[in-house]
Each structure stands twice: as structure tokens, then as C-alpha cells.
Amino acid sequence: MARNERKTFEGKRVLVTGGLGFIGSNLAHALVARGARVTLLDSLIPEYGGNQFNIAGIEDKVTVNIADVRDASSMAWLVQGQDCIFNLAGQTSHIDSMRDPLTDLQINCVAQLSILEACRKNNPHVKIVYASTRQIYGKSQYLPVDEKHLLQPTDVNGINKMAGEWYHILYNNVYGIRTVSLRLTNTYGPRMRVKDARQTFLGIWIKRLVDGEQIDVFGDGTQLRDFNHVDDVVAALLLAAERDEANGCIYNLGSDEVISLLDLARLLVEVNGAGSYRVIPFPDDRKKIDIGDYYSDFTRIRDALGWAPRVALREGLEQTIKFYRKHRDKYWE
């Protein structure tokens, strides 16, 4: 697979929106290794996770453009000549989306439509891989959740991400712009934002462990989740870009390893070799938008593209904690 991927991306022009962020920067490292000509677009807005250190080691092998996906003029220029766009830029905080819904709308909805219009007018032959989210399903009616599940988001972020996804599929179906959407579940690993829970609660949990502080588990801790290591997510993104049969399709990512939040806290403490946790009631603002149990059925992408997660949860957590102990000064305040 790696040989095929290298052949696919070598010499290709690739734009990654949100390229200095968590998933975007990990993808950038993989694309550089495959010989791609990579442009990373990032606004570096402090709350959204972009970090220059995320591209340490490949700084001279990528082009970084500090711009905002909400800037239609910048996007119209940047999409030109690109062979592939990995559209990862977004506002990810569910709480922020409820407190400031219009900003979430602009980034996750309006800007997405603007990017697609820029491609329609300036580069209709480009391939676009869009990063969607399991949040658009809302509270699960059955488990595991497959792509046929009802879409009923519980927050503004989920609604806008759902719209962003369907704009991409619409432009595939109507205008022939090749798009594919991956509905990501809980992605974790090196280079994720850990200063707070804006990207994932697991980030702040790891920061607190490294700092010797207690982990807070909301609710009763029995909520079930699945997790994907960022290396597995990058592999899925590359496959989706590489394979034409993915065009116009929507795929869940996910894992066969399903774990309760309480057991996850225990596992983290065990892997870390120290630490503690406590179970506390949900804050009111979080309880209203909590989705309860969730884990994905990723049969569709496994059967269509041959993707399945390879990094076991324990192994991934060990690697992630080791990364932040080594590079703590680059990711704390």
C-alpha cells in the first residue's frame, strides 16, 4: 500500500486546509514522505489548534500560507493548480459552537461552500477529501452506528458540519468535482491540542496526567466510545484521495475497540504509570449536548477501500503520552 501511495502522490500538488493543526500536520508529514508538493493553509487562530512546531522536520519541504478559509479571495487563488485538497479546516469545539454559533456557521458551513465554489470556477478537476464528524449523528438509535443512521445533531457544530459535508457531496453529484467525506470519530495522537478540550477531551486528560493532576470523568463514566489513532486517520485520508471508487461517497471511521470513559481513564493512568481520576456530574452546558454511547460501524470503508485501524488503543496512548512528555513546552500554554 505504501508503494502505491508513493506513486499516487509523488510530484502531485496538494493543499491541506488546517494544515498546521492536529490531523493536517500529521497528514503533511505523510505526504512529504510520499513526495508530494504540499501547501499548508492555516489561520493560526489561537483557539483552533494550529501550531508551527507540528511541522518540525519538514519546514523546508512544505509551503505554509497563513490565511483563513473564510477569505474567499485567498481560497480562489490557493485552489488553482492543486491535484488534491484535504479539507480539514474547521471549528471543532461543540461548546464554542453553542456560545458563538455564527462563527461556527461561517467556518464550518459558509467557508466550505466558498471553497467548493472556488474549485468549481478555478479547478473543477481537483479531488477533495472532506473531514466530517460522527457528531452529525447525534444520539445513537442503535449501535454500532452505520452510515444509514438518522442524522440528528445535538449542537450547532454538528448541524454546520452536516451541511458542509453535503455541500461536498452535492458538488460531486451536480458539478462532477470529485469529493469524498470521512466521518471521523475520536481521533487522538501526537500533535493534538491538549491545552483544553476544544479538540478532544482526551487531550486535556493527557495534559493533566503529565502535569500530575486529576482527570475529570463527566457523568457516570459508563459512556462508550471508540477511538482512532491519527496514523490510522491519515491512512484513511490517503486512501480516500487515491481511490476513484470513493468519489461521491461517505464513510465512517471507527474501531473495534470500544471502551467506557471510566475504563479509558483507568487505562491512561495505567499506561502513564501514575495519576488519578474522579467521576463528577456533567456541567449543565455539556450535559445538554452529550450524545451518550457512540461507536461506529466502519464496514463500508473496510469493504470498499480496505481500510481498518491498525494502532491498538494501549499502544497509541503510550506513544502519545511519550510524545507530550518529550515536547511538553511546545504544546502547553
pLDDT single digits (tens) 80-122: 999 999 999 988 788 888 999 999 999 999 999 999 999 999 9
Q: Which CATH superfamily is domain 2-188+227-255+295-311 in?
A: NAD(P)-binding Rossmann-like Domain (3.40.50.720)
Question: CA-CA distance, 279 to 77, in Å (whole number)?
Answer: 50
Could you tell me whether strands 215-218 and 186-188 are parallel, antiparallel, or unpaired per DSSP bridges?
A: unpaired
- Exposure b/e, 42-72, CB count within 10 A at least 16 = b: bbeeeebbbbeebbeebeebbebeebbbbeb
| Residue entry with cell 512544505 | 62
Residues 118-142 pLDDT 10s: 999 999 999 999 999 999 999 999 9
Residues 6+ apart with CB under 8 A from 170: none
Question: In one letter, which amino acid is 260?
Answer: S
Q: For residue 305, give the amino acid letter.
A: L
Cα torsion through 232, 238, 240, 244, rounded to 10: -150
106: which residues sit within 8 A by CB, 6+ positions away?
70
For residue 44, give the C-alpha cell: 493560526
Task: Give the pLDDT confidence score for residue 269 in this predicted structure.
Answer: 97
- The reported pLDDT for the residue numbered 2 is 42
pLDDT at 6: 54
- Phi, psi dihedrals of residue 6, rounded to the nearest 5°: -60, -45
Tell me the pTM: 0.95
Q: Report which residue type is found at 120.
A: R
Distance CA 322, CA 328 (A): 10
Please report the pLDDT score of residue 22 as a whole number. Answer: 96
Query: What whole-number distance in Å separates Cα of residue 203 and Cα of residue 2?
Result: 29
Enumerate the domain spans of the chain: 2-188+227-255+295-311
CA distances (Å), 215 to each of 120, 185, 238, 267, 278, in order? 47, 21, 34, 12, 6
Residue with cell 471549528: 91
Instruction: State the angle between helix axes of 111-122 and 156-175 in degrees (0 to 180), rounded to the nearest 10.
Output: 20
Residue 199 pLDDT: 65
Mean pLDDT (the chain) is 94
Q: What is the C-alpha to C-alpha distance for residues 125 and 288, in angstroms, rounded to an integer? A: 42
Q: Are strands 224-229 and 258-260 parallel, antiparallel or unpaired?
A: antiparallel
pLDDT given for residue 59 in this prediction: 97
Stretches in the chain below the pLDDT threshold 70: 1-6, 198-199
3-state SS assignment for residue 118: helix
Beta strands in 84-214 (DSSP E): 84-87, 127-133, 178-184, 186-188
C-alpha span between 61 and 65 (Å, rounded) = 13
Phi, psi of 248 (to 5 degrees): 80, 5
* DSSP assignments along 161-195, one per residue: HHHHHHHHHHHHHHH--EEEEEEE-EEESTT---S
